[in-house]
Amino acid sequence: MSSTSPLRVRAAAIGLSAMALMTVAAVTAPSGQAAAPAGGRPAAAGAVVTTLKFVRNSADPQNSRLLVVRDNKTQAVFRAGSGLGRDHAKGRDECASAKGWLPAGTYTVGARQTRYNGNLIKGYAIPLSNKTCKNGRTTRTELFIHSEMTRAGGQGSTESRRWDGVGDYKSAGCIKLAPEDIKKLFRNLGRGAAPKRLVVV
């Protein structure tokens, strides 16, 4: 007649207890989620993606729209302009450097700056990547989302440092917002993940 040692009985009991715990963990895990490993944490939810979208208005380029989109939901819309406008022969020519509006496509968005100090652009500004236009030869450079203001974000005495109204939505190809709107844009972007790309349509 065989006998079972106390050590074997204890090992078998421990094995059964471990299996029971694994079964309970699997049953009690929330629906659609995997149970967290012992001593670990549940997998983090997917990060929110923020994208900027510029919708060009062919009828009036100075009345176009810049959208903030998070997880495919529009969070904010701002009036914006790009190029020298419908009354200029090259205003809607995306291959006309310093005259036409921003070429269609996807851009990399740089870091937001509130005290940018360029030769022409001051204050609130977001740099954009260069873009080759549809002719495959012309590359548009020195592109920004910006306004007309002083480096400190106020209004100056010269025209390029002072917003005078709807005529100032004209640009050399950048996306241009009114001063109060670009500040609202920055506040909005500060509440979520920084945008990595701009889509122009």
pLDDT in tens, 175-185: 999 999 999 99
CB-neighbour burial class of residue 102 (10 A; exposed 0-12, middle 13-18, buried 19+): buried
Fold of domain 50-200: L,D-transpeptidase catalytic domain-like (2.40.440)
What is the distance in angstroms between the CA of the first residue and the CA of the last residue of the chain?
A: 86
- Following DSSP, what letter does each residue of 172-194 receive, concatenated? SSSEE--HHHHHHHHHHHTTSPP
Q: What is the predicted pLDDT for the residue at 178?
A: 98
How far from the centroid of its chain's Cα atoms is residue 20's Cα? Answer: 47
Is residue 158 classed as helix, strand or coil in its secondary structure? coil
Q: What is the predicted pLDDT for the residue at 192?
A: 87
- Following DSSP, what letter does each residue of 78-96 receive, concatenated? EEEB-SS-TTSTTTT-TTS
Give the mean pLDDT of 12-25. Answer: 41
The percentage of the chain sitting over the pLDDT mark of 70, rounded to a whole number, equals 77
How far from the centroid of its chain's Cα atoms is residue 179's Cα? Answer: 20
Which tens digits make up the pLDDT trace of 26-56?
333 333 333 334 444 443 456 889 999 999 9
- Beta-strand relationship, 175-176 and 143-146: parallel
Of 42-51, 148-157, 160-169, the range with the lowest mean pLDDT is 42-51
Q: What is the predicted pLDDT for the residue at 105?
A: 97
Output the average pLDDT for the chain: 84
* CATH 2.40.440.10 intervals, the chain: 50-200
Cα torsion 112, 180, 76, 120: sign: negative
Q: What is the predicted pLDDT for the residue at 46?
A: 67
